Amino acid sequence: METNIQSEKARLAKIEHEIHQLRAVIEGTRSNNSLASDNPELGKLQVENMKLKHRLEILNRAIAAERNASSANQSGGPISILETLTSLFTEAIATAFPEVCKDVPTVITVSSSPKFGDYQCNNAMQLVQKYKALGVTKNPRDIASQMMAELPKSPIISKVEIAGAGYVNVFLDKNFSASAIMSILQQGVKPPRCEKKRVIVDFSAPNIAKEMHVGHLRSTIIGESISRFLEFLGHDVLRLNHVGDWGTQFGMLIAHLQDRFPDYVRISPPIEDLQAFYKESKARFDSDEEFKKRAYSCVVKLQSGDPASLKAWTLICDVSRREFQRIYDRLDVTIIERGESFYQKRMEVIVEELSSQGFLEEDDGRKIMWGENREAIPLTIVKSDGGFTYDTSDMAAIKQRLQEEKGEWLIYVTDAGQATHFQVVFSCARRAKILDPTVHRVDHVGFGVVLGEDGKKFKTRSGDTIKLTELLDEGLKRSLNKLLDKERDKVLTPEELKAAQESVAYGCIKYADLSHNRNNEYIFSFDKMLEDKGNTAVYLLYAYTRIRSIARNCGGDFANGIEKVIASTKLSLEHEKEWKLAKVLLKFTDVMKLISENLCLHHLCDFVYEVSTTFTEFYDVCYCIEKNKQGEIVKINAGRVLLCEATSRVLKKCFHILGLKPLHKI
Ligand code: ARG
């Protein structure tokens, strides 16, 4: 490895030197041109200049490609196959087709079938088109073969072939793959190298006193997984719960509380059922003018810091907080509450700033702010009654997160319905120079609605929102029934059964959510998510437990401290199915890289499912342990057991990100 890096460095230095020389020559020909405009040599020089420029372009691309590849190695991060192949083919294309390679992004994909190799480069047709535009006719297969001829040597490739209309198929190298799997065993499952950032993930964010609905469940599940994912990559993650704890609903709640429990400052009122309490106060608010007025004055008093109002507000928030926490505990979610109220002072400040910088416009008594390009709708920064809005709190929050928290990457997880809101907030923040797109990354992570099995919005029969606690209880009940159907109670201790029940119930709810492309709606069906076949949490949990038990069943060094076996075993990957499994495991790094771009966790679900099904194919035909008729172990194939071990380690890491709790026994 060391010497590899040394020679890469030497090569880089050589190329850089060559570039300097070329630059000098090009500069030289330029000045010659201007001095000797009548010079008969001029034409020749210009041609020469063109050629040199091409050469320079090639070298620049080569340097970028080399940098890419060698920096990945130097950091000790696991190799990204897609990135490495992209670099290699980029270089090949630049060398073979310098006149058209500009604006041709290298396209490498996983091959659809093993007969087309493991990966393929799909650029030939596009290059043909580029030549056509220059009036040159070329054949895509010829292009592919030229590309192949210029492909730099790499330890990750065993061979390349041309196929079909001009694809270049790449076959991975077994030795390289075996050593990459060995490093998973020796060093653990490592994230790809990336620039570490301070990331703030805003998720869950239910509203106090109002029902926490399935939309909040999605935000909670997705936000928690994104946070775990980013932590795995090594980012510094702050998880924030931007609860709605400062809105107008508090006016009516407090006014109602004053009437029902005048003694609330001394004694905690019995408002355990905040929902019901909220409904009562809302009914009064809608029907009683007197009450309505008082409710408004209560909000004003609260927001100006009146102690009695604050006391009432705290009581109400506490009840909600306890309810939310119960759900977070059940789902194993960690989050810090920092609700809208936190920004009260900061809202006053930002309104001042935006106003003095001339960003606010009068509109029918309101103060509004448009984004950079007056897109969609403006934000309402101050209402006509002088109050602040959801928009105001998000402007104050984005500033606080970027400037005080020093966030470099802000993520907001809410339903897709709020996409415009966030696009406008980002745009206004850019306009006000709070957000600098050259240093900050911002993402709205939207998601579709949850549908019931009837294909309509997920609601109770009577049309109410579904209480999350009840939904989780239902999951527990169903998962227990499933386990009892399979007579697992006969095999598991009561504690093990309970652990299995919870892991299956919460796991299946989370996994059903995460395994769908978050941008789409999905149908919530306990029957589907509890199936033990197909891409479900139940299938995966069983598969994982089975894999874990293999090493344990080998006994000896395999069961206690497999490190010794790791140190003394070489992977052969001889059998076709071993080789296939290894190649699937090596996709892990690329899956991680893809998710860090699009924050779509269904890619990870697809990956764990592919790992599990490929593992089953392998395990069905490859003996890891051979036993005699008496059931005694007669032979252990250590390499294969290690492949099982690597599989389980990769799965474990993925399960953690997806919030699945693996079980010892199920
Ligand atoms: N409480 C809001 C809702 O229920 C979600 C808040 C999302 N976060 C934010 N910074 N706006 O829709």
Where do the domains of the chain lie, and which CATH numbers do they carry?
Answer: 2-186 (3.30.1360.70), 249-337 (no CATH), 339-447 (no CATH), 489-658 (1.10.730.10)
Note whether 504 and 651 are within 8 A (CB): no
H or E element, residue 604: helix 602-621
* Ligand 1 contact via 414 beta carbon (within 6 Å): yes
Q: What is the pLDDT of residue 263?
A: 86
Q: Using a pLDDT cut of 70, give the percent of the chain over it.
A: 90
Ligand 1 centroid – CA 205 distance (Å): 5
Average pLDDT for 60-67: 55
C-beta neighbour count of 356 within 10 angstroms: 9
Specify the ligand 1 atom closest to the Cα of 394.
Answer: 10
Q: How confident is the model at residue 538 (pLDDT cuts 50, 70, 90)?
A: very high
The residues that bridge with 167 in the sheet, in sequence order, are 163
Could you tell me the two tokens for 355?
A: 């106003």
Residue 140 has pLDDT above 80, yes or no: yes
Specify the ligand 1 atom closest to the Cα of 422.
Answer: 11
Closest residue by CA, ligand 1 atom 9: 242
Q: How confident is the model at residue 459 (pLDDT cuts 50, 70, 90)?
A: confident
Residue 55 has pLDDT above 50, yes or no: yes
Specify the ligand 1 atom closest to the Cα of 413.
Answer: 7
Ligand 1 centroid – CA 373 distance (Å): 24
* Ligand 1 contact via 412 beta carbon (within 6 Å): yes
Residue 3 has pLDDT above 50, yes or no: no
Beta strands 119-121 and 108-110 are antiparallel
Q: How confident is the model at residue 28 (pLDDT cuts 50, 70, 90)?
A: low
Least-confidence region, from 119-128, 244-253, 424-433, 590-599 = 244-253
Ligand 1 centroid – CA 424 distance (Å): 15
Q: What is the pLDDT of residue 486?
A: 94
Closest residue by CA, ligand 1 atom 5: 205
Q: What is the pLDDT of residue 430?
A: 98
The secondary structure of 150-174, three-state, reads HCCCCCCEEEEEEECCCEEEEEECH
Residues with Cβ within 8 Å of 97's Cβ and at least 6 positions away in sequence, in order, are 127, 130, 131, 143, 146, 147
Average pLDDT for 285-293: 95
| 188-198 residues labelled b (16+ CB within 10 A) or e (exposed) | ebbbbbeeebb
Higher pLDDT, 11 or 244: 244
Encoded amino acid at 300, one letter: V
- Strands across the sheet containing 336-337: 336-337, 236-241, 198-202, 409-413, 441-445
Closest residue by CA, ligand 1 atom 2: 205
Q: How confident is the model at residue 72 (pLDDT cuts 50, 70, 90)?
A: very low
C-beta neighbour count of 40 within 10 angstroms: 7
Ligand 1 centroid – CA 326 distance (Å): 20
Average pLDDT for 267-283: 85
Encoded amino acid at 241, one letter: N
Q: How confident is the model at residue 74 (pLDDT cuts 50, 70, 90)?
A: very low
Residue 273 has pLDDT above 90, yes or no: no
Average pLDDT for 281-291: 95
* Ligand 1 contact via 590 beta carbon (within 6 Å): no
Ligand 1 centroid – CA 554 distance (Å): 52
Q: What is the pLDDT of residue 177?
A: 97
The residues that bridge with 413 in the sheet, in sequence order, are 445
Q: Using a pLDDT cut of 90, give the percent of the chain over it.
A: 76
Closest residue by CA, ligand 1 atom 4: 206
pTM, rounded to two decimals: 0.89
Provide the Cα torsion 279, 283, 288, 289; round to 10°.
80
> Which of 414, 415, 424 maximizes ligand 1 atoms within 8 Å of its Cβ, making it the mutation to test the pocket?
414
- Fill in the DSSP letter of residue 562: T
Q: What is the pLDDT of residue 21?
A: 65
Q: What is the pLDDT of residue 6?
A: 56
Ligand 1 centroid – CA 353 distance (Å): 24
* Ligand 1 contact via 205 beta carbon (within 6 Å): yes
Q: What is the pLDDT of residue 24?
A: 60
Q: Which residue has the tokens 């009562």?
A: 280
Average pLDDT for 432-439: 98
Note whether 64 and 93 are within 8 A (CB): no
Residue 157 has pLDDT above 80, yes or no: yes
Q: What is the pLDDT of residue 34?
A: 46
Residues with Cβ within 8 Å of 496's Cβ and at least 6 positions away in sequence, in order, are 663, 664, 665
Q: What is the pLDDT of residue 467?
A: 86
Closest residue by CA, ligand 1 atom 8: 242
Q: What is the pLDDT of residue 125?
A: 94
Q: Render pLDDT for 585-596 as a digit per residue (tens, 0 to 9).
A: 999 999 999 999
Least-confidence region, from 55-59, 148-152, 249-253, 541-545 = 55-59
Ligand 1 centroid – CA 504 distance (Å): 29
Q: What is the pLDDT of residue 357?
A: 98
Ligand 1 centroid – CA 338 distance (Å): 11
Ligand 1 centroid – CA 202 distance (Å): 8
Residue 519 has pLDDT above 90, yes or no: yes
The values of phi and psi at residue 640, to 5°, are: -70, -40
Q: How confident is the model at residue 71 (pLDDT cuts 50, 70, 90)?
A: very low
Ligand 1 centroid – CA 623 distance (Å): 53
Least-confidence region, from 176-180, 304-308, 419-423, 650-654 = 304-308
Q: How confident is the model at residue 530 (pLDDT cuts 50, 70, 90)?
A: very high
- DSSP of 272-295, one letter per residue? --HHHHHHHHHHHHHH-HHHHHHH
CB burial of residue 640 (10 Å; 0-12, 13-18, 19+) = buried
Note whether 382 and 182 are within 8 A (CB): no
Residue 350 has pLDDT above 70, yes or no: yes
Q: What is the pLDDT of residue 2?
A: 45
| Residue 11: CA count within 13 A, CB half-sphere | 16
Ligand 1 centroid – CA 413 distance (Å): 8
Ligand 1 centroid – CA 490 distance (Å): 46
* Ligand 1 contact via 396 beta carbon (within 6 Å): no
* Ligand 1 contact via 394 beta carbon (within 6 Å): yes
Residue 466 has pLDDT above 70, yes or no: yes
Least-confidence region, from 218-232, 250-264, 497-511, 642-656 = 250-264
Q: What is the pLDDT of residue 10?
A: 62
Q: What is the pLDDT of residue 623?
A: 93
Ligand 1 centroid – CA 393 distance (Å): 10
Could you tell me the two tokens for 534?
A: 């197909």
Specify the ligand 1 atom closest to the Cα of 412.
Answer: 8
Closest residue by CA, ligand 1 atom 6: 205
Closest residue by CA, ligand 1 atom 11: 394
* Ligand 1 contact via 340 beta carbon (within 6 Å): no
Residue 624 has pLDDT above 50, yes or no: yes
Q: What is the pLDDT of residue 33?
A: 46
Encoded amino acid at 436, one letter: D
Q: What is the pLDDT of residue 212?
A: 81
* Average pLDDT score over the chain: 90
Average pLDDT for 6-19: 61
Q: What is the pLDDT of residue 433?
A: 98
Distance CA 554, CA 624 (A): 9
> Which of 418, 421, 443 maximizes ligand 1 atoms within 8 Å of its Cβ, making it the mutation to test the pocket?
418
Dihedral angle sign, alpha carbons of residues 288, 293, 297, 302:
positive
CB burial of residue 124 (10 Å; 0-12, 13-18, 19+) = buried
Q: What is the pLDDT of residue 18?
A: 65
Average pLDDT for 315-322: 91
Q: What is the pLDDT of residue 267?
A: 80
Q: At what angle do helices 214-233 and 494-514 cross, to 10 degrees?
A: 90
Beta strands 236-241 and 198-202 are parallel
